[in-house]
Structure 1
């Protein structure tokens, strides 16, 4: 079953879930942010505050600005840390975008991990009418018990509501929809054409011929609206950097593996460093990390030669009439 098949147990979905279990959650601010913020606060509170009112000759009013500086400092620290005071949310998304040669629209499969420090309920509004979504169980023995509501609307797109996330817990949601890329990705001889509105990063093109011989072209950055002349090498060893965010190298390596590429076909594998539009999650999380892995099918294997059926039409006619004849014969024998 392909990526677009609605199967929570597929290899792609299970790999994505495993990655998000490790990557989702709140990003703790580094200690340097705390030290730097404390230093700025003390400088503004004591020497800077003193100098300003000393210049105005109103040194006795300096103490009135202390609460203002304290509140402004707290707001600045909270925004720098991307945390709500007393309430923290994060949204981590890892998506797979599959395109077909010559088509501007593509299939987008998202897996979203939502974490919050206090219990809350989330809604997901989609911008296209063909979207579907559902919660993912955290394990095979832990089914989703919370009832969800999926509303369809041909004007605004469907709405998934009632996604409950407990305190200090993570809930995953799987969503699939068709998105418009503004252009297609295709191969013109040995030139890669990217007519979409997105830049493809860390891209690779793999071609496997009819003899199962594989060639690899390292593209790297493939800008939107660009044409890239490919330089293939016979060494098909793929070296995807393990330092890419959200462990997307694991997903890319799975799509670039020799066993996953059909004979006499070609594909591009890359990534988009953002979440594609078309889905809105409310309430909105302050921390939002997203990566989209691109699987662009550039050429499919040729269809097999059509073959005639071994059976003739008369064989099917006899098989349909034989049971009726045998029943009539058995009835005659019983009457006699």
Structure 2
């Protein structure tokens, strides 16, 4: 595949605060990459470096092999959709979409043709004469996206594109944005702190933590094979149990406080050392059964707990259970009719060896 954008060792400081540490990414043509992370992790600073609103202190920013670090924002051929849409209030939807074409010297008739065509693509052809104040949040979002795509930019940047929408509209707009950008083969970088949004929309996710990249990979890779406890905890929900790892022949033995896990050695990450580790198991990978007093060695890959709370989620239940050491784990029960355990019931939560990930502590 062809690289559309390359970040090579980007660094940025504000005074004595180092906001970015050696950020390197290779974005492929037509790829949808999401920069995900908590507030202050560096994702927005990286987006601003790409857009040209900030200049890097270190590293290179290459677009199709050309270093663009010194090129002003308006000359980078990059489209951008802001969280607040940044539509011109005195312009109609049609004029908003046509504006970047006018600034590029495109003639009036061609501007109108392209803007009308783009508004048709985003299903707003019937609203081209409406002003932003007459549009809903989702409609404004689509106008902003049409404006960012109309001049065929090399890369489209989405800055928290769905942050201002309610949950139901956010869900539908995730698929709408994907449909539109896929139709044009657009190369997209989106910034969000919403993990669900990142999992749904992305070809790859770049997860930021404290100004550095914690992990870059497909949504499935980050969810199923997190590189560390931060990734496991931030992407999806997880139960993280401290333990000690030893190896015996071809078997890995993970011993925690009142529980034991066994799995094949080849399930361990390359380079993982014996000693203090963290076992990660997702709530949906746990099964509940009645508690018993069996010795730990006789019931590997399970742990005894006491039900503390049962949360009804409509199509499923979420059980919060307390371990003997006082920590809380979560168990997802997909069938609301199948749960017979009530608070203060002793239960056993079990898992399959293939469903856990052992992380360095």
Q: Please indicate the TM-score interval, normalised by the length of the shorter structure.
A: under 0.3
TM-score (norm 1): 0.22
- What is the TM-score of this pair, normalised by structure 2? 0.21
Which of these two proteins has the greater Rg computed from alpha carbons? Answer: 1
| Relative contact order higher in (CA < 8 Å, ≥ 6 apart) | 1
